[in-house]
Amino acid sequence: MAEDEKPEEPWEHDLEDPEPFHHESAHPAHSRRRGVPALYGIMAEFDNPTALVAAARSSYEAGYRRINGYSPYPIEELDEAIGFKHTTLPLIVLIGGILGGLGGFFMQYWMAVINYPLNVGGKPLNSWPAFIPITFECTILAAATAAVLGMLALNKLPQPYHPVFNNPNFALATRDRFFLVIEANDPKFTHGEAMQFMRTLGARDVSDVEV
Amino acid sequence: MADEPHNLDPQHTTTPVVAPGLTFASVTDKISSIVLKRKTPIWWFAGFAISFILFQLLLLTITQLLFVGIGLWGINIPVAWGMDILNFVWWIGIGHAGTLISAILLLLRQQWRTSINRFAEAMTLFAVAQAGMYPIMHLGRPWLAYWLFPYPNTMGIWPQFRSPLMWDVFAVSTYATVSAMFWFVGLIPDFATLRDRAKSKPWQILYGLLAMGWRGSARHWHRYEMAYLLLAGLATPLVLSVHTIVSFDFAVGVLPGWHATIFPPYFVAGAIYAGFAMVLLLTIPLRKLYGLQGFITMRHMHNMAKVMLATGLIVGYGYVMEAFFGWYSGNRFERFMIWNRMHGPYAEYYWALIVCNIVTPQFLWIKRVRSNLLVLWLISIVVSIGMWLERFVIVVTSLHRDFLPSSWGQYQPSMWDWTMFIGTIGFFFTLLFLFIRFLPMISIFEMRTILPEAEVEE
């Protein structure tokens, strides 16, 4: 089950790329940006979720793949619009739960049967029904921990810096503003064309996001 | 995070879960301003001061306890569990409503949970913190509490996993950990909201650290929602297992009055009953003081009252069945146990419990009672007291007269039992006051999802 996702760190690509995309010879379309910081992408701002989802759909249909939406609350339609459907998180949680359960049970088994066998009231050493409650609790604990840490790890959090925060209006992404970003490392991305395209989406503002 | 938050059924005649006219901006500003902008009200200082003073009683009791030992309390043979264990059960039961609201109601897609879940989860966490202290202090040598965990040690021995007391250790510590994670994960997007709203640098940094760089990315939300849903799915069996295991502490013992198969469901229902009473007890004054009637509406009050009524009826069924089993068993010790509860030296506790827990909630059938917040608040207090009495009756009346009359005895809580109990109440409210001052007590991002404007029009 592969994570259906694109890397979100274009600056890493920039480091690998011997010819950054604002280099004139490599990307003629970027010629206007010579001498300014590298570009993360272009950001469009919307007032409501409907406009954001519609814009995300148009971008996807226009062939852009490295697009991402930012919203103050989860929008189910947005995931589909940007083409993000699967996450490996449930698998991670399942594995966590299985390991927790097996670990919990065999921890008790090893301690009570192998390492220190002790006859308690004539009960069998492997008195497994009495081991079930702790096995259950260990299952839940490991699965829940896997869910939280797995979510943070897949989201690459904590991440103190991210280019989108450079847009002064982006603070409203946690209030009532909706943002769409086409990232500069999209194969189809050229600055002029993408800018022109995003201006057609009915956004209240379109701006460059610097790395 | 209600999955289908947008389609409020127009045929639905009950009051809406949010007041009309609220927008993303007004919801965000109103809830975050309680933490960031508004002047801290005078009653907050007064309430915090009183709680903090009571909290000192707890510290005093614990200090004294470490010097003197548990002889400080009124416990002795035959009643060796007394108020310590009954308060443990009382507190942990209160915590369960928080998990029910945040996890079970999420899975059942009850959107009305949205405005009270954060608060209820905080209540869970703080109640579990109080509960956890009791068994540890009751150990006699609390500084050796880590012996309860299976760690490789120079003594070469392991804990006894066949004992319900060990199950308790795992259940309660798992419950505390999972509740804390669930609460924190729920807070991450709201930390980001506070980070972006805070005016002063130190608060921006603090909330920024806690938000961990949350930026509301659609990919993040997708995994976040998945994680939250899975956590809810895991917390649901967990909360049922915790109180089941707590009831095993009693039910696995062969003592009349404890050794009953009805204990697990009856304990779980009692926990939810007590927990909802506590949520009502706390939210009724809070929504008034902070003017949150638009978020925590009368519909919430009605629903919580109804849950309280339903679980109260299950608890009442439990009492009736306990008495019935005692009689029907034909076992003279069981029969004596129930007779002793009704007519013995603690009979007044038993009958007070019946009045508090079976008679009082019946008023909740009446809509006018559910709509009258003062009456509802008073009923919640009565139910909280009733649930405390229930644990008193279970712990004390079962222990004090068991099989052999020569080993019978009486139990009288000492002053230190009361200072410890009052101290934990002080600690609970201290934490709660800090919580409402420094963290958003209503989940801001989940409130946004249930607003009409959150709907994506196709």
A44 φ, ψ to 5°?
-115, 145
Instruction: Of B184, B183, B218, B211, give the one whose Cα is nearest residue B196.
Output: B211
* Residue A16 shares a structural domain with residue A72: yes
- B310's tokens: 């339903």
Tell me: do A20 and A67 sit in the same domain. Answer: yes
Three-state SS for B44-101 is HHHHHHHHHHHHHHHHHHHHHHHHHCHHHCCCCCCCCCHHHHHHHHHHHHHHHHHHHH
φ/ψ region of A158 (left if φ > 0, alpha if ψ in -120 to 50, else beta) reads: beta
Q: For residue A51, give the 3-state DSSP assignment.
A: helix
CB B226 within 8 A of CB A151: yes
Least confident of B46-50, B104-108, B196-200: B104-108
Q: Do A144 and B208 touch (CB under 8 A)?
A: no
B 3-22 residues inside an 8 A Cβ radius of A: 3
Domain containing A51: what range? 10-85+177-210
DSSP assignment, residue A17? -
Q: Which of residues 96-125 of A touch B (CB under 8 A)?
A: 97, 107-108, 111-112, 115-116, 120, 123
Evaluate if residue A130 carries a pLDDT over 90: yes
In a domain, B13, yes or no: no
**B253 belongs to a structural domain:** yes
pLDDT reading at B126 higher than 90: yes
Structurally, chain A folds into a number of domains equal to 2
Q: Is residue B7 part of a domain?
A: no
Q: Look-up: residue for tokens 């998945």?
A: B226
- A124: closest chain B residue by CA: B162
A32 domain residue, yes or no:
yes
A170 interface with B at CB cutoff 8 Å: yes
> pLDDT tens digits for B21-65?
889 999 999 999 999 988 899 999 999 999 999 999 999 999 999
Q: What pLDDT does residue A34 have?
A: 58
Q: In this structure, is residue B394 part of a structural domain?
A: yes
In a domain, A170, yes or no: no
Give the sheet arrangement for strand A67-70, strand by strand. Answer: A67-70, A178-183, A39-46, A205-210
Q: Tell me which chain A residues have a C-beta less than 8 angstroms from the C-beta of B193.
A: 72, 174-175
Nearest CB to A154: which of B160, B218, B223? B223
Q: Do A115 and B158 touch (CB under 8 A)?
A: yes
Task: Give the tens place of pLDDT for each residue, A114-126.
Answer: 999 988 888 899 9
Residues of B (210-269) whose Cβ lies below 8 Å from A: 212-227, 230-231, 234-235, 237-238, 241, 245, 248
**Residue B10 domain flag:** no
CATH number of residue B390's parent domain: 1.20.1630.10
Percent of chain B at pLDDT > 70 equals 97
A194: contact with B, CB 8 A cutoff:
no
pLDDT of A9 strictly over 60: no
Question: Residue B335 belongs to what domain range?
Answer: 24-145+160-454
Cα(B268)–Cα(B368) distance, integer angstroms = 28
Which residue among B160, B178, B219 sits closest to A5, beta carbon to beta carbon?
B219
Backbone torsions φ then ψ of B278, nearest 5 degrees: -70, -40
pLDDT tens per residue, range B331-368? 999 999 999 999 999 999 999 999 999 999 999 999 99
Q: Are B450 and A74 within 8 A, CB to CB?
A: no
The answer to whether position A202 is within a domain reads: yes
Quick: pLDDT tens for A10-49.
444 444 444 444 444 344 444 455 566 789 999 999 999 9
Best residue in A50, A67, A155 to probe B by mutation, most B CBs within 10 Å?
A: A155
Contact B217 A160 (CB under 8 A): no
| A61 class by beta-carbon count within 10 Å (0-12 exposed, 13-18 middle, 19+ buried) | exposed
| Any domain includes B400 | yes
The CA-CA-CA angle for residues B294, B299, B305, to 5°, reads: 130
**Contact residues, chain B, for A107 at CB < 8 Å:** 150
| Cβ-proximal residues to B430 (8 Å cutoff; 6+ apart), any chain | B48, B51, B52, B54, B55
Q: Which residues of A touch B215 (CB under 8 A)?
A: 70, 162, 164-165, 170, 173
Among partner residues B24, B167, B245, which is closest to A176 by beta-carbon distance?
A: B24
DSSP A156: T
Q: Is the ipTM of this complex over 0.85?
A: yes
For A36-52, b/e burial (b = at least 16 CB within 10 A) is: eebbbbbbbbbebbbbb
Looking at chain A, which residue has its C-alpha nearest residue B190?
A174
Contacts of A159 in chain B (CB under 8 A): 212-213
Q: Do A144 and B235 touch (CB under 8 A)?
A: yes
Provide the domain count of chain B: 1
Cβ–Cβ of A154/B241 closer than 8 Å? no
Question: Do residue A35 and residue A63 come from a single domain?
Answer: yes
Q: Kindly state whether residues A144 and A195 are assigned to the same domain.
A: no
